[in-house]
Amino acid sequence: MIRLTAMLLCVSTSMWSSSFSEIAHNFDYDRAAPLDMQETAVRHFASYAVHEISYASPRGGRVPASLVIPASDGPFPVILFGHWMKDGSPMKNRSEFLGEAELLARSGAISILIDAPLVRPGAVQDKDLLSAQDSFVTQQQVIDFRRAIDLLLSRRDTDPTRIAYLGHSFDAKVGAILAGVEKRISSFVLMAGSCGDEYYVFHSGAPGTAEMRKALGEDKVREYFRKYAWADPENMVGHSSPAAVFLQFASQDGPPSYAQHCEEIFGEPKRMQIYQTSHALNAEARRDRVLWLVKRLKLKTVDLDALDKIPQLE
């Protein structure tokens, strides 16, 4: 439930009786289908190039994306970037992480940044917070990222043993699901996102949750979680091993107990850090995650001065 949780961030799911394999089938797709990648523009820099592309989504339409490719020789480790969707932010799309992707290209990583379905051309968001749209948008984004891996691994200059995912807010939730169902990814950075929608709404104690439940009706909220439990990442994250997960949380998003709950339910290996800041996180969190990715992906030393000059997210 993107907005039911993200509007507050930006009971456990024991009633869900299906097996993990049955849940995971909700994120299946035809891997043999044509990618139909199309390039619309390219910008060349001294040590990398940024290609504006799109590819076919298995759920319909096209996925707008930016592909950042080092100018050196591969094989390159791969990073998938997923953005937040804060209303009013000038970086509520794939541009959020372009600065980090360009910096990491200089250290030897190839990256793809994709727009989420609700910021793509023609998208209309349902105003009903209990609409099915949120669950199916999450499903599409998970599948579209899996296709992004297919696209990158179709290249001869990528290393299939070094694939990382970095997602913020909505796309951190998407990453939590990917951690369970997509075993080609070996490293995850999940920033200020949901590890369990139902748990967050009923047990996190985050600001506004009680008022929101009352306004929508607790019975209706519980029914939503029963109906769309397959889209709740809590059903996936226990299967994150052997991938390594770095969880980043913001102190202003709610009590530390929610972050601690998330740390507990993910598989090993994992790391969790709470930052004294807002949902956008801060420069300290940026430095921590970039250095963690450099180590995990065995990249060249990153330019820390350039890293610290990346503008703060708004």
Express as a percent the part of the chain with pLDDT over 70.
Answer: 94
What's the pLDDT tens digit per position in 98-145?
Answer: 999 999 999 999 999 999 999 999 999 888 888 889 999 999 999 999
Is 314 a residue whose pLDDT tops 90? no
Q: How confident is the model at residue 81 (pLDDT cuts 50, 70, 90)?
A: very high
What's the pLDDT tens digit per position in 2-48?
Answer: 455 554 444 333 334 468 888 899 999 999 999 999 999 999 999 99
State the pLDDT at residue 266: 97
When mean pLDDT is compared across 49-58, 194-203, 271-280, the lowest value belongs to: 194-203
Average pLDDT in the chain:
92
**The sheet that has 187-191: what strands, in order across it?**
38-44, 48-56, 62-70, 110-114, 76-82, 158-168, 187-191, 244-250, 270-275
State the pLDDT at residue 203: 86
Whether 89 is in a domain gets the answer yes
Q: Taking residues 240-269, what's their average pLDDT?
A: 96
State the pLDDT at residue 209: 85
State the pLDDT at residue 5: 53
- The pairing of beta strand 187-191 with beta strand 244-250: parallel
Whether 65 is in a domain gets the answer yes
State the pLDDT at residue 235: 92
Whether 313 is in a domain gets the answer no
Whether 15 is in a domain gets the answer yes
Tokens describing residue 139: 């499903």
pTM for this predicted structure: 0.93
Residue 128's domain comprises: 2-308
Torsion over CA: 156, 157, 162, 163 (sign): negative
Q: How far apart are CA 81 and CA 59, in angstroms?
A: 20
**Cβ distance 250 to 279 under 8 Å?**
yes
Q: How far apart are CA 230 and CA 20, in angstroms?
A: 9
Which CATH number covers residue 120? 3.40.50.1820
Whether 117 is in a domain gets the answer yes
State the pLDDT at residue 9: 47
287-305 as b/e, with b when 16 or more CB fall inside 10 Å? Answer: ebbbebbbebbebeebeee
Q: How confident is the model at residue 206 (pLDDT cuts 50, 70, 90)?
A: confident
State the pLDDT at residue 236: 93
Residue with tokens 């591969």: 74
Q: Taking residues 253-262, what's their average pLDDT?
A: 93
Q: Taking residues 60-70, what's their average pLDDT?
A: 98
Whether 314 is in a domain gets the answer no
What's the pLDDT tens digit per position in 208-237?
Answer: 888 889 899 999 999 999 999 999 999 999
Whether 224 is in a domain gets the answer yes
Express as a percent the part of the chain with pLDDT over 90.
Answer: 82
The residue among 268, 32, 238 whose CA lies nearest residue 150 is: 32
What's the pLDDT tens digit per position in 160-184?
Answer: 999 999 999 999 999 999 999 999 9
Which residues does 124 contact at the CB level (< 8 Å), separation at least 6? Answer: none
State the pLDDT at residue 18: 64
* Number of domains composing the chain: 1
